[in-house]
Structure 1
Amino acid sequence: MTDAPLFDRHMLEALVCPVTHATLSYDAQAQELVSRTAGLAFPIRSGIPIMLIDEARQIRADD
């Protein structure tokens, strides 16, 4: 069994939060793209960011 593909950090240049259109930060440990402005963390599955609001995890403002 092979490891899941890693997220291509160059994608961060093109991706923005679908709610606020703000920039995202990459959390490598959690495999998420984080929008602090919206308070949401979007999962990355098999190297693909899932930018659907319904799939995002709410985060606290102080995380």
Structure 2
Amino acid sequence: MKIDDWLLEILACPACKSPLRAEADELACTSESCGLVYPVRDDIPVLLVDEARKA
């Protein structure tokens, strides 16, 4: 997965607005209470709550 650092700095979890961190081929919410993990497909983050899974 290739996500530029500047893009990762501005991305936020759509559910709780917390920052995201890169993990393997996913972006994980940094909030303890939310904990959603969003897929990245073809280097494009899919930031849809319906597509996310609980960590």
Task: State the TM-score, normalized to the length of structure 2.
Answer: 0.82
Task: Give the residue type in structure 1 aligned to 2:26.
Answer: E
Once residues 7 and 54 of structure 2 are traced to their aligned partners in structure 1, the CA distance between those partners, rounded to angstroms, is: 22
Task: Give the match's secondary structure for 1:25.
Answer: strand
Which residue of structure 1 lines up, in the alignment, with residue 30 of structure 2?
36
For the structure 1 residues 42 and 10, does the alpha-carbon distance in structure 2 shift closer, same or farther, using more than 3 Å as the test? same
Name stretches of at least 5 consecutive residues in structure 1 with no aligned partner. none
- What count of residue pairs does the alignment treat as equivalent? 53
Percent identity, please.
Answer: 38
Which residue of structure 2 lines up, in the alignment, with residue 21 of structure 1?
17
Shift of 1:7: 2.7
Bigger Rg, which one: 1
- Cα deviation digits, residues 15-39 of structure 1 (max 9, x gap): 1011111111111x2x111003111
Name stretches of at least 5 consecutive residues in structure 2 with no aligned partner. none
Bigger proportion of residues as strand: 2
Cα RMSD for the two superposed structures: 1.4
Task: State the TM-score, normalized to the length of structure 1.
Answer: 0.73
Which residue of structure 1 lines up, in the alignment, with residue 46 of structure 2?
50
Task: Give the match's secondary structure for 1:7.
Answer: coil
* 8 Å Cα contact 1:8-1:47 kept in structure 2: no
